[in-house]
Amino acid sequence: MKELLLIPGPTPVNEEVLKEIAKQPISHVSKVFAGYIEKSIEYLKEIFGTKNGSIFIIPGSGTIAMEIALKNLLGKNEKALVLSHGFFGDRFLEILDEDGFQFDFIQSKWGEIIDLNLINDKLKKEHYEVVTITHVDTSTGILAPVNDYMRVIKEVSPDSLIILDGVCATAGVEEKMDEWGIDIILTGSQKALSVPPGLAILAVSERGLNKRKSLGKIGYYYGDLLRWKISMDDPTKYFATHNTNYVFGLKKSLEIILSEGLKKRYKRHFENANYIREKMENIGFKVFGDKNYLAPTLSIFLYPEGIDDEKFRKDLSDKGVTVASGLKDLKGKCFRMGHMGEVKKEELDYAFEAISSLIT
Amino acid sequence: MKELLLIPGPTPVNEEVLKEIAKQPISHVSKVFAGYIEKSIEYLKEIFGTKNGSIFIIPGSGTIAMEIALKNLLGKNEKALVLSHGFFGDRFLEILDEDGFQFDFIQSKWGEIIDLNLINDKLKKEHYEVVTITHVDTSTGILAPVNDYMRVIKEVSPDSLIILDGVCATAGVEEKMDEWGIDIILTGSQKALSVPPGLAILAVSERGLNKRKSLGKIGYYYGDLLRWKISMDDPTKYFATHNTNYVFGLKKSLEIILSEGLKKRYKRHFENANYIREKMENIGFKVFGDKNYLAPTLSIFLYPEGIDDEKFRKDLSDKGVTVASGLKDLKGKCFRMGHMGEVKKEELDYAFEAISSLIT
Residues B180 and B229 in one domain: yes
Q: Is the pLDDT of residue A360 over 90?
A: no
Confidence (pLDDT) at A227: 98
Residues B241 and B98 in one domain: yes
Closest CA to A114 of A88, A86, A87, A154: A86
Return d(Cα A175, Cα B2) in angstroms, integer.
Answer: 43
Which of B196, B225, B258 is where one domain is finished? B258
Residues B186 and B247 in one domain: yes
Q: Is the pLDDT of residue A173 over 80?
A: yes
- Provide, as residue numbers in chain A, all residues whose Cβ is less than 8 Å from the Cβ of B5: 24-27
Query: Per-residue pLDDT tens for B227-280?
Result: 999 999 999 999 999 999 999 999 999 999 999 999 999 999 999 999 999 999
Confidence (pLDDT) at A279: 98
Report phi then psi at A284, rounded to 5. 105, -5
Which of A192, A224, A258 is where one domain is finished? A258
Which of A258, A280, A311 is where one domain is finished? A258
Average pLDDT, chain A: 97
Confidence (pLDDT) at B2: 84
Q: How many CB atoms lie within 10 A of CB A117?
A: 9
CATH of the domain at B236: 3.40.640.10
Q: Is the pLDDT of residue A1 over 80?
A: no
Is the separation of the CB atoms in B172 and B165 below 8 Å? Answer: no
Residue A178 pairs in a beta bridge with: none
Q: Provide the chain B residues 277-296 that lie in CB contact (below 8 A) with chain A.
A: none
Query: Per-residue pLDDT tens for A264-294?
Result: 999 999 999 999 999 999 999 999 999 999 9
- Provide, as residue numbers in chain B, all residues whose Cβ is less than 8 Å from the Cβ of A64: 59-60, 222, 240
Residue B64 at interface with chain A, using a CB cutoff of 8 Å: yes
Confidence (pLDDT) at B31: 96
- Provide, as residue numbers in chain B, all residues whose Cβ is less than 8 Å from the Cβ of A224: 98
- Provide, as residue numbers in chain B, all residues whose Cβ is less than 8 Å from the Cβ of A246: 196, 198
The beta-carbon neighbor of A98 closest among B21, B23, B224 is B224
Residues B239 and B326 in one domain: no
Query: Per-residue pLDDT tens for A202-219?
Result: 999 999 999 999 999 999
Q: Is the pLDDT of residue A94 over 90?
A: yes
B323: domain range?
A: 4-10+261-359
Return d(Cα B172, Cα B222) in angstroms, integer.
Answer: 29
Residues A151 and A240 in one domain: yes
Q: How many CB pairs under 8 A join A and B?
A: 175
Q: How many CB atoms lie within 10 A of CB A75?
A: 15
CA B279 to chain centre: 26
Return d(Cα B126, Cα A163) in angstroms, integer.
Answer: 44
Q: Provide the chain B residues 174-213 that lie in CB contact (below 8 A) with chain A.
A: 188, 190, 196-198
Low-confidence ranges of chain B (pLDDT < 50): none
Residues A203 and A279 in one domain: no
Q: Provide the chain B residues 240-259 that lie in CB contact (below 8 A) with chain A.
A: 240-246
Confidence (pLDDT) at A155: 98
Strand A161-165 versus strand A130-134 pairing type:
parallel
Number of domains in chain B: 2
Query: Per-residue pLDDT tens for B308-331?
Result: 999 999 999 999 999 999 999 999
CATH of the domain at B303: 3.90.1150.10
Residue A13 at interface with chain B, using a CB cutoff of 8 Å: yes
Query: Nearest residue on chain B to A8, judged by CA atoms?
Result: B27
- Provide, as residue numbers in chain A, all residues whose Cβ is less than 8 Å from the Cβ of B24: 3, 5, 12-13, 18
CA B116 to chain centre: 23
Q: Is the pLDDT of residue A153 over 90?
A: yes
Residues B191 and B70 in one domain: yes
Residues A271 and A173 in one domain: no
**Which residues contact residue B188 at a Cβ distance below 8 angstroms, ignoring those fewer than 6 apart?**
A241, B9, B61, B62, B65, B167, B197, B199, B200, B201
Residues A239 and A277 in one domain: no
Residue A59 at interface with chain B, using a CB cutoff of 8 Å: yes
- Shortest Cα distance from B309 to chain A (angstroms)? 15
Mean of the pLDDT values across residues A170-177? 98
Confidence (pLDDT) at B196: 98
Residues A240 and A323 in one domain: no
Query: Per-residue pLDDT tens for A285-334?
Result: 999 999 999 999 999 999 999 999 999 999 999 999 999 999 999 999 99
Return d(Cα B147, Cα B152) in angstroms, integer.
Answer: 9
Residues B188 and B307 in one domain: no
Residues B142 and B249 in one domain: yes
